[in-house]
């Protein structure tokens, strides 16, 4: 459209024609002055405003600061002409930022455009919010945006924009978005047939799910299913293939989303993912000539490897991945080397064993000398992650050697990492001191204060180290040019421990003094004042150089620096006191060990993330570090008390043992970390299962359910849209359930989702053998198989949650009729056998008994056939001729479980016609089974009477 | 998330700049900084660059691992540069740059630097169809050019509706088009002369 405004074209041409920058500026200033005047005069029509605002935008794009036109842009937005509106919105998104005061003025216009029936205007408005949306806009407009996203009448391109806009608003102001409440509705959009919509919604869900893992749990299945459809079934619109790779962006996002969740327990989902990952890895085996195709394929592959590592770092898949990575890091293509090293660092951060990586240590170290700094950085990160006690000397040595030639941009980070590794994996404290002093002398400028503080802290807390440290520092100080950090360490260490080496030749007090003082003149005031403190300590221990020292104090009393002057005066007075005065001695007592504390170095690594940012799924460093991080990440969602790991770190002992402990303790103690991980997982499982969905209530829901508890097939649920039926077969501790989902409506049920919540998956596992399809065509049935296994005695029914879109979003939660009696096997017993066992088991607690009302049949007689049907339906053998009373029923069965073995169970039912009551007695060797069987049988018979 | 999309030529003159995060310093210096980082990298190095130097412009990254990354690609006289954080796949962004370039190419037919200069608004509209608020909106080139064309169409219509002499279908366009009086249109032309 710029072409349609001649003035604008001319303006651009003029600026392009300007030979020098001054002319360009002159032309722009002239134009801006003119525009300012026009705006001031007012009375401009839409076309003029549009033209001037466009000029302002162009000026802004050239990088000039513009301070006019905001108001006109606001006016243009409410114009009824699209071309004006569009320029207005462009100006708003470019010229304003989220804190701009002008934005208040556009909220109403934006709302008007959002509510309009014109999709193109909706999009302009959404786009503006997504770019400059403030928390104020979030409050005012979040509902409207959400409506556009979920409305069934919204076009795909509106949905896409709405999803990303909602994401922006959530990032700016998470409180206004009821993320958990909207969860199931939003996740259902992941089944949208339009892949563009799926990409955008997945972006949104990635962010929301990170903060609400439980509420968005369904997205795990959806993501796995979608990946399967993309990668294996090749089910996508041809236009979404990018150089023959099915939408790599979507694949990458889905693979990343799956990494936000702990690995799933569901065997079906696991095998689906395994198949997907395997296929992705196989696909990459055939490199292609097309750069674009290769890029896309690798993008997916690297994310797939990350997911494989996340799922199980010991799986054979990861073995394959390690081989691939090894090939990548010596690839000719720089991008591939870069990403290969990056992904390897992920592997190193997670894997139990670093051995497969150590095979390539040589290649990795060579990568430190790659021609590309980006690759060098990745190599450094990887070496940092793969360092352990065995190879620390080699790696630290290599890093130190490289440090001397490393890029300046890299040095500070290297120093920090070397310092941490040296501390973490020190094999002996001498090595530690050697390395850290080498580090300080090699890269003085890049050594942060926290590094040398830490050295001093460790030396002070380690008696055995002090003499050695003093010597080594002395030797390092002999170098012709030394860095200030080293002088500081030297000043401190020699001041405290110089007397330990003073008797050895070459280390005499005079030598020490002369060496240190020769450095003083090159140092800044703060270092000099530290040296003054050293001198006063020496006055105490080295009487032979006292005169020289006092001389120095004397001179420093006249320097300009206040701090130095004060110290000099005080020390001078202190040193000049008579020799028998104990004051000096007391002041210069040796430093006590420092209280234990967390290394400041790690503090720098431990900084917190912003709340609504996408989080990384791993960090550089060893396995323990990652475990620790995961735990701290999960803690807030679990609401458990944070434990005091941080304070229990390190000890201040003086023996070598505890020194090593305090060195190791720098990285929050690994034993505490790994010991706790399993218990955390249990917590997590418990907390997620305790949040069972609310059951759907209906007049017949209980009736259908009760009937199915003692029969093998029937209807479980039915309403106007859907019918759910069941056929089941049980054998021993295993069972197979076929569930039929019938769509009764004339429109398809889309975004169909079925999930199972088992309260205690340790006792009863119920899983779909396949991920259910996401669509059920009108008037058809979809059959799904459930694999059921009874591992232990369980007491609650699993819950099936079905949700789908049929106009609106619907969700049904019903209990699945799987009780312990399903795993019973009927047992035939004679009268004698029965009573012998009956007595053997004995009364409470292994007996469960209750009395409850029962219904009579139409002839007001006991409904004996019904009773028999229920008991045998619960898979108990009805034993004839055991009880003399023909109305009574006696039964026996054995429960099969895969973990706890078999449990026998006996039952006696004594109905009474007159009282319309019935007494039920169940005895079993397991009290849980007795109680459970009583509950199941009573449930059905009692319900008859009501 | 994508924090900035920049296009500049091989002399460092910006041709398109779009920031999805507020800047701490002037955009001009940021572009110069990135240009100085990228222009010294010879061909054959990777397309990714860690850029801790950008913290001064885009704000610090809290985590040591979390860094500003620059993903760039060189096409003829232009550098296409995306500044992203750790949540994006590097290669994915590289592919996205290709998609963006293909979309520009469709819209301008053999896109060249001049197209971006004279049709800066159009370039921004195309970008808006690819990335919104720092996130990937659409990656399908067909889909992108459809949206772009649709917007162009309604723009033409509204433009035509603003021009009473045009006999195009624009009159009574999607919004019923509020017609200006011929007089208003004429004065517009007349007063506009000085400004052109």
pLDDT at B177: 34
| A885 backbone φψ class: left, alpha, beta (φ>0; ψ -120 to 50) | beta
**Which of A81, A197, A421, A612 to probe the B interface (max B CBs under 10 A)?**
A81
Instruction: Give the model's confidence band at B194: pLDDT under 50 very low, under 70 low, under 90 confident, else very high.
Output: very low
Per the CB < 8 A criterion, the answer to whether A791 and A742 are in contact is: no
B125 touches chain A (CB under 8 A): yes
pLDDT at A224: 93
pLDDT at A280: 92
**Which of A249, A257, A292, A603 to probe the B interface (max B CBs under 10 A)?**
A249
How far from the centroid of its chain's Cα atoms is residue A448's Cα?
30
Tokens 């030979």 correspond to A19
What distance in Å separates the CA atoms of residue A883 and residue A878, rounded to the nearest whole number?
11
What contacts 24+ positions apart, CB below 8 Å, involve A173-179? A173/A135, A173/A138, A173/A139, A173/A142, A174/A211, A174/A611, A174/A612, A176/A135, A176/A138, A176/A139, A176/A142, A177/A138, A177/A142, A177/A146, A177/A208, A179/A208, A179/A211, A179/A212, A179/A215
Instruction: Give the model's confidence band at A257: pLDDT under 50 very low, under 70 low, under 90 confident, else very high.
Output: very high
Per the CB < 8 A criterion, the answer to whether A735 and A816 are in contact is: no
pLDDT at A223: 93
What distance in Å separates the CA atoms of residue B2 and residue B21, rounded to the nearest whole number?
9
Residues 6+ apart with CB under 8 A from A425: A387, A388, A389, A392, A396
pLDDT at A468: 87
- Residue A53, CA distances (Å) to A32, A42, A260, A750 in order: 11, 14, 45, 46
Residues 6+ apart with CB under 8 A from A2: A8, A9, A12, A54, B118, B119, B120, B121, B122
Q: What is the largest CA-CA distance in chain B?
A: 64
What distance in Å separates the CA atoms of residue B18 and residue A842, rounded to the nearest whole number?
81
| A916 backbone φψ class: left, alpha, beta (φ>0; ψ -120 to 50) | left
Any bridge partners for residue B9, and if so which? Answer: B78
Residues 51-110 of B with CB under 8 A from A: 52-53, 62-66, 85-87, 89-92, 94-96, 98-99
Q: Does the structure show a pLDDT above 50 at A240?
A: yes
Contacts of B196 in chain A (CB under 8 A): 6-7, 10-11
Rg of chain A, C-alpha, whole Å:
38
Q: Per the CB < 8 Å rule, is A120 touching B50?
A: no
Instruction: Give the model's confidence band at B109: pLDDT under 50 very low, under 70 low, under 90 confident, else very high.
Output: confident
For A195-238, the pLDDT digits (tens) are 989 999 999 999 999 888 888 988 999 999 999 999 999 888 88
Q: What is the value of pTM for the model shown?
A: 0.77
B166 touches chain A (CB under 8 A): no
For B43-69, the pLDDT digits (tens) are 888 899 888 778 777 777 655 556 788
Residue-averaged pLDDT of chain A: 82
Per the CB < 8 A criterion, the answer to whether A54 and A69 are in contact is: no
What distance in Å separates the CA atoms of residue B65 and residue B60, rounded to the nearest whole number?
12
Residues 6+ apart with CB under 8 A from A406: A376, A414
For A717-737, the pLDDT digits (tens) are 988 888 999 999 998 889 999
Nearest CB neighbour to B90, from listed A48, A131, A339: A339
Instruction: Give the model's confidence band at A165: pLDDT under 50 very low, under 70 low, under 90 confident, else very high.
Output: very high
Residues 9-38 of B with CB under 8 A from A: 14-18, 20, 22, 26-28, 31
Which DSSP string do the residues of A335-380 spell out, in sequence order? HHHHHHHHHHHHHHHH-S--HHHHTTHHHHHHHTT-SSHHHHHHHH
Among A86, A91, A61, residue whose Cα is nearest residue A73: A91
């Amino acid at each position: 459209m710029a072409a349609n405004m001649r003035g604008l074209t001319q303006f651009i041409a003029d600026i392009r024609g300007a030979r020098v920058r001054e002319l360009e500026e002159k032309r722009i200033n002239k134009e801006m002055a003119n525009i300012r005047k026009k705006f001031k005069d007012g009375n401009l029509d839409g076309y003029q405003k549009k033209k001037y605002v466009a000029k302002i935008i162009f000026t802004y794009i050239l990088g000039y600061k513009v301070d006019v036109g905001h108001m006109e842009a606001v006016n243009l937005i409410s114009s009824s002409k699209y071309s004006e509106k569009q320029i207005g919105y462009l100006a708003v998104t470019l010229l304003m930022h989220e804190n701009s005061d002008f934005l208040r003025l556009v909220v109403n216009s934006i709302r008007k455009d959002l509510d309009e029936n014109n999709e193109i205007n909706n999009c302009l408005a959404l786009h503006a919010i997504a770019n400059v949306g403030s928390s104020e806009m979030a409050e005012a407009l979040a509902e409207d945006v959400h409506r556009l996203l979920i409305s069934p009448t919204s076009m795909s391109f509106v949905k896409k924009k709405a999803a990303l806009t909602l994401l922006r608003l959530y990032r700016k102001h998470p409180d206004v978005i009821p993320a958990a409440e909207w969860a199931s509705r939003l996740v259902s959009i992941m089944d949208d047939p339009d892949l563009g919509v799926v990409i955008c919604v997945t972006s949104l869900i990635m962010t929301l799910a990170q903060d609400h893992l439980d509420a968005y749990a369904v997205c795990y299945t959806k993501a796995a299913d979608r990946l399967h459809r993309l990668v294996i079934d090749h089910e996508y619109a041809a236009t979404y293939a990018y150089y023959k790779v099915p939408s790599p962006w979507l694949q990458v996002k889905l693979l990343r989303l799956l990494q936000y969740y702990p690995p799933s327990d569901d065997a079906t989902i696991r095998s689906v993912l395994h198949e997907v990952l395997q296929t992705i890895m196989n696909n990459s085996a055939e490199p292609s000539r097309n750069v674009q195709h290769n890029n896309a394929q690798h993008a997916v592959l690297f994310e797939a490897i990350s997911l494989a590592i996340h799922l199980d770092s010991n799986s054979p898949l990861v073995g394959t991945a390690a081989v691939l990575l090894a090939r990548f890091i010596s690839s000719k293509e720089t991008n591939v080397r870069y990403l290969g090293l990056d992904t390897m660092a992920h592997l190193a951060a997670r894997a139990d064993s670093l051995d497969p990586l150590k095979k390539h240590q040589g290649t990795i170290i060579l990568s430190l000398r790659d021609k590309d700094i980006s690759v060098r950085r990745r190599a450094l990160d990887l070496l940092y992650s793969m360092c352990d006690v065995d190879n620390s000397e080699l790696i630290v040595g290599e890093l130190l050697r490289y440090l001397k030639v490393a890029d300046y941009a890299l040095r500070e980070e290297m120093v920090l990492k070397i310092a941490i590794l040296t501390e973490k994996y020190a094999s002996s404290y001498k090595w530690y001191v050697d390395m850290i002093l080498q580090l300080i002398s090699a890269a003085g400028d890049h050594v942060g204060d926290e590094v040398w503080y830490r050295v001093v802290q460790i030396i002070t807390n380690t008696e055995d180290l002090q003499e050695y440290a003093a010597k080594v520092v002395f030797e390092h100080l002999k170098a012709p040019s030394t860095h200030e950090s080293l002088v500081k360490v030297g000043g401190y260490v020699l001041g405290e421990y110089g007397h330990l080496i003073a008797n050895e030749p070459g280390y005499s007090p005079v030598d020490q003094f002369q060496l240190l003082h020769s450095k003083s003149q090159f140092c800044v005031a703060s270092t000099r004042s530290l040296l003054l403190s050293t001198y006063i300590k020496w006055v105490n221990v080295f009487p032979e150089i006292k005169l020289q020292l006092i001389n120095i104090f004397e001179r420093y009393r006249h320097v300009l620096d206040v701090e130095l002057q004060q110290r000099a005066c005080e020390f001078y007075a202190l040193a000049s006191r008579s020799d028998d005065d104990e004051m000096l001695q007391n002041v210069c007592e040796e430093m006590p060990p420092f209280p234990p504390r967390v290394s400041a170095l790690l503090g720098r690594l431990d900084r917190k993330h912003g709340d609504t940012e996408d989080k990384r799924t791993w960090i550089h460093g060893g396995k323990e570090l990652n475990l620790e991080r995961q735990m701290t990440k999960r803690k807030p969602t679990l609401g458990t008390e944070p434990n005091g790991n941080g304070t229990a770190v390190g000890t201040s002992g003086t023996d070598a043992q505890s020194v090593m402990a305090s060195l190791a303790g720098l990285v929050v103690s690994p034993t505490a970390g790994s010991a706790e991980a399993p218990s955390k997982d249990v917590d997590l499982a418990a907390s997620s299962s305790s949040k069972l969905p609310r059951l759907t209530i209906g007049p017949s829901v209980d009736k259908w359910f009760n009937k199915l508890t003692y029969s093998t097939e029937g209807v479980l649920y039915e309403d106007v849209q859907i019918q759910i039926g069941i056929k089941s077969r049980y054998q021993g501790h295993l069972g197979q359930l076929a569930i039929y989902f019938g769509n009764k409506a004339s429109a398809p049920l889309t975004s169909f989702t079925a999930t199972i919540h088992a309260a205690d998956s340790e006792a009863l596992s119920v899983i779909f053998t396949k991920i259910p399809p996401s669509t059920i065509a009108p008037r058809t049935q979809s059959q799904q198989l459930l694999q059921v296994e009874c591992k232990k005695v369980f007491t609650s029914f699993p819950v099936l949650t079905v949700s789908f879109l049929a106009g609106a979003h619907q969700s049904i939660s019903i209990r699945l009729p799987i009780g312990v009696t399903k795993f019973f096997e009927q047992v035939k017993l004679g009268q004698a056998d029965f009573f012998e066992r009956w007595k053997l088991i004995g009364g409470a607690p292994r007996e469960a008994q209750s009395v409850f009302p029962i219904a009579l049949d139409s002839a007001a007689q006991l409904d004996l056939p019904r009773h028999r049907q229920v008991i045998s339906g619960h898979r108990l053998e009805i034993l004839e001729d055991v009880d003399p009373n023909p109305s009574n029923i006696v039964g026996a069965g054995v429960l099969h479980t895969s973990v706890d073995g078999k449990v026998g169970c006996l039952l006696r039912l004594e109905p009474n016609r007159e009282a319309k009551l019935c007494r039920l007695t169940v005895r079993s060797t397991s009290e849980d089974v007795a109680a459970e069987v009583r509950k199941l049988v009573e449930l059905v018979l009692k319900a008859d009477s009501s | 998330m994508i924090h900035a999309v920049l296009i500049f030529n091989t002399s460092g003159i910006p041709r398109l700049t779009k920031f999805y995060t507020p800047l701490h310093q002037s955009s001009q210096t940021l572009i110069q900084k990135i240009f100085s980082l990228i222009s010294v990298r010879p061909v054959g190095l990777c397309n990714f660059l860690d850029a801790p130097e950008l913290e001064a412009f885009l704000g610090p990254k809290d985590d040591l691992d979390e860094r500003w990354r620059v993903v760039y690609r060189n096409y003829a006289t232009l550098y296409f540069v995306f500044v992203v954080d750790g949540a994006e796949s590097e290669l994915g962004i590289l592919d996205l740059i290709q998609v963006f370039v293909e979309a520009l190419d469709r819209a301008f037919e053999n896109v060249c630097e001049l197209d971006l200069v004279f049709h800066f608004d159009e370039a921004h509209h195309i970008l808006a169809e690819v990335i919104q608020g720092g996130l990937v909106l659409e990656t399908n080139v067909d889909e992108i050019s459809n949206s772009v064309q649709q917007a162009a169409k309604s723009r033409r219509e509204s433009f035509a509706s603003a021009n009473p002499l045009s006999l195009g279908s624009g009159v009574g366009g999607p919004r019923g088009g509020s017609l200006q009086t011929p007089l208003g249109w004429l004065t517009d032309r007349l007063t506009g002369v000085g400004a052109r």
